[in-house]
Amino acid sequence: MHRPLAAVERFFTGYAFPALAVAVLLLVEIATAALLSVPPSAGAAGAFAEQFRAWCFGAAPQTGATYALAVSSVFVELVGLMAIVVWFWRRPLAEVARERPKTLVPILGAATGVTACLAAALVALIAGTPLPVKPDVFQPQALRISVPAPEVWLVDHEGTKVRLAELKGRVVVLTAVYATCGLACPRILGQAKRVVARLPGVKSRDVVVLGVTLDPARDDVEELARMAEAQGVKAPQFRLLTGPPPAVEAVLDRMDVRRRRDEQTGVIDHANVFLLVDRAGRLAYRFTLDDLQERWMGEALELLVDEPAGAATAMRE
């Protein structure tokens, strides 16, 4: 009855356990280095290696870039574990290496089997689970929507009638601002200007930015013209829109822009939204106001500009 316990004790106090542990850690390190060196273009092996890098080291699937810090830390940990094992079991390891080195051969075979089992489990895990998505990586297909764009039929800051449906064939950025807004609205227009400015000249000409007023009772054509001049935006690419209050409020409702006016100060607390409308006249993306969303918005805008006018229709079908 005590023989199994004695065997277990000999395994952990003698050379067998530390030799097996060091061999497994060494084989894992070699296999990891091999996978990190496989190029993505190497067929099925390259595809698996790319998934492995994404899962274990946070590599971005879109770029294949591996975080050097994550890689180095894993290798340092493996070497550190081997050093700890060798230090604590140095006497039995030194004795078997000096007197009975051939007894280590079966242990190396066992270590190979253990490593193969670990590799098989990893393959099953990666093959059966989607790749992890970095939260700061723009996923165009995951975020893409395709619903009717809100109807807009108003007047811009130059007194020209604007109807969103008549802009079909171009990409439209639809947002909401108002003239006396001193904080968020200049930032909204600033973000819109920057993403449009980053497009190459030919592409940027296919983009129109429509800013619907949140304060139609006060923002007439003249007031919006002063706002456009102050914010450095010009028609026909940037058009600040107004109209009869009921018509404007209906547009804002269709845009799903949450807003609330403080009756004492006149300040309008509002959502900061950008609706991107594709060339087919369908609402494609919805973004908000911050640095990450600005980057995503720029990437989405470039995708929509490069998209043929009939692509969105084809996607729906």
What does the domain layout of the chain look like in residue ranges?
A: 3-128, 141-316
Look at residue 268 in the predicted model and tell me its pLDDT: 95
Look at residue 131 in the predicted model and tell me its pLDDT: 56
Domain 141-316: give its CATH superfamily: Glutaredoxin (3.40.30.10)
- Dmax over CA atoms of the chain, in Å, equals 97
Residue-level pLDDT, tens digit, the chain, 317 residues: 466 777 777 888 888 898 999 999 999 999 888 888 887 666 777 777 777 777 776 655 444 444 566 778 888 888 999 999 999 999 988 898 888 888 888 988 999 998 899 888 888 877 666 655 556 778 888 889 999 999 999 999 999 999 999 999 999 999 999 999 988 999 999 999 999 999 988 889 999 999 999 999 999 999 999 999 999 999 999 999 999 999 999 999 999 999 999 999 999 999 999 999 999 999 999 999 988 999 999 999 999 999 886 554 444 43
Asked if residue 101 has a cis previous peptide bond (ω within 30° of 0), the answer is: no
Report the chain's terminal Cα–Cα distance, integer Å. Answer: 72
Contact 233, 251 (CB under 8 A): no
Q: What's the pTM?
A: 0.59
What residues have CB less than 8 Å from 23, skipping those under 6 apart?
107, 108, 110, 111, 112
Look at residue 135 in the predicted model and tell me its pLDDT: 62
Contact 232, 225 (CB under 8 A): no
